[in-house]
Amino acid sequence: MKSVPPSLEEVAREFHRIRSQKKGHTRFPKDLWQAAFDLTATYSVVEIASALGISSQYFRQRLAQRKEDAQGFAQVRPLPNATHSFVEITLKRQAGPLTLRWTGPIKDLPTLVGKLFRGEFS
């Protein structure tokens, strides 16, 4: 059984819960940050940051850092429809990063990734 990704309200509630239980600098769990980053497929950075109680500039910095850390890897995030997926692949190259964002049938995913790594996309 597939789990449903948390909603913006659920992620915001968890950020506020953790913040209220700690004094001083608060470190949020990586999986909570990932849940917030996953919301960018549905909400704007400003909407997410506002709900989380952080600046949109800080959220953008965290999001950019996460993308830099993930370069060279494919990340697949399921959409509500189990037959489709959202894929973002970023490759680090001398000429600059190459990012491919694609939504489509899961059955086509291996073909897409193969073409990307063989350099069949420009």
pLDDT in tens, 39-98: 988 899 999 999 999 999 999 998 888 765 554 444 444 444 555 566 666 666 667 776
Closest CA to 3 of 33, 24, 31, 44: 31
Predicted confidence band of residue 12 (pLDDT cuts 50, 70, 90): very high
Residue ranges per structural domain of the chain? 1-68, 70-122
pTM comes to 0.54
Give the SS3 label for residue 38. Answer: helix
d(CA 12, CA 51): 6
Q: Does 16 score more than 70 pLDDT?
A: yes
